[in-house]
Amino acid sequence: MYIGRFAPSPTGPLHFGSLLAALASFLDARHHQGKWLLRIEDIDPPRSVPAAIHRIPETLSAFGLEWDGEISHQSNHHLRYETALHQLQENQCCYYCTCSRKMVAQRHAGVGYDRFCRTQQHTGGAVRFISSNAELIWHDAIQGKRTHAPASIEDFLLRRRDALWAYHLAVVVDDAAAGITHVVRGYDLIDETAKQILLQQALHYQTPSYAHIPIVTTTNGQKLSKQNLAKPLDLSCVSEQIAAALAFLGHPLPESLLRAAPQAQLRWATEHWSMERIPKRAAMAWPGV
């Protein structure tokens, strides 16, 4: 059974980049007669915008992207994250870290965390995962073989110093709890996948299949994001935006469907969907987004 998902953070309204990830994950699931779940990643209260939590499902519905089952919210999942962290602690897969960003920067000029606290035996602080020293190789359904050199994956955070759950732990635990078999998302997360695979292995979870679609940039090369105020999706011209998103994903609609109802456009795209047609690119510029 194929189970896919779309998992936006409610930090603002959905934009064209979000539509690409939603559409690609939806179409891949529907093409395989699978389920498509919606999970709101609201575990970072300072960054979550309450209005966005309600607006995301409304926007998806307006685009004909109907999910299966109940919407899940990460803010309800503290207990399962706690249980997973406890399991990692029992198995000595993590350690406490008391470093500030400044302390790490003063010790070394390299990128990321220098593993200093691995040998410090602290009894509190942030919690970091002990990344493997081995080479990691995995296969992306669009981008192909990915290789991570030995010791190149940072000891990433599981829980932050302010006790907020870190992204990787929440995502990996939720994907496993929902039985997610296929993850389709933006290329900006491709290097994070290695960390999630290591975490799945430490927790004895199945690793889903991963596919990373190119991210969209403005014509001057800037990544679209809520932070740089990408234009919100416009509910007054849904069909035009679906047509543009499908063209970006290598599935241009036939002329007769360019202004059809979203449901008719999605039916065509579900039938014709193929990962082979998605450009093997990290990013592509798109005019008018």
Binding-site members for ATP are 226
Q: Contact with Zn ion (CB under 5 A): which of 60, 97, 158, 253?
A: 97
Shorter beta-carbon distance to Zn ion: residue 97 or 127: 97
Cα-to-chain-centroid distance, residue 150:
24
| β strands within the chain, DSSP E | 3-6, 35-40, 72-73, 94-97, 126-129, 136-140, 144-148, 157-159, 182-186, 209-213, 215-217, 283-285
Stretch that binds Zn ion, among 13-21, 113-121, 156-164, 259-267 (CB under 5 A): 113-121
Residue 132: which of 116, 152, 159 has the closest Cα? Answer: 152
Q: Contact with Zn ion (CB under 5 A): which of 23, 37, 88, 117?
A: 117
Residue 99 in the binding site for Zn ion (CB under 5 A): yes
Beta bridge mates, 284: 216
Q: 126 is written with which tokens?
A: 């942030």
Shorter beta-carbon distance to Zn ion: residue 102 or 145: 102
Stretch that binds Zn ion, among 85-93, 112-120, 222-230, 232-240 (CB under 5 A): 112-120
Name the minimum Å distance from CB 125 to Zn ion. 7
Shorter beta-carbon distance to Zn ion: residue 24 or 99: 99
CA distances from 102 to 98, 99, 105, 112, 123 (A): 11, 8, 5, 12, 21
* Residues flagged as binding site for Zn(2+): 97, 99, 113, 117
How many CA atoms lie within 13 Å of 240's alpha carbon, on the beta-carbon side?
A: 7
Binding footprint of Zn ion, residue count (CB under 5 A): 4
Name the minimum Å distance from CB 116 to Zn ion. 5
Shorter beta-carbon distance to Zn ion: residue 7 or 97: 97
Name the minimum Å distance from CB 99 to Zn ion. 3
Stretch that binds Zn ion, among 7-15, 117-125, 143-151, 237-245 (CB under 5 A): 117-125
Between strands 283-285 and 215-217, the pairing is parallel
Shorter beta-carbon distance to Zn ion: residue 66 or 114: 114
* Residues flagged as binding site: 5-9, 41, 97, 99, 113, 117, 167, 185, 226
Q: 138 is written with which tokens?
A: 């995995």
Beta bridge mates, 139: 145
Q: 128 is written with which tokens?
A: 């970091």
Name the residues that contact Zn ion, by CB under 5 A: 97, 99, 116-117
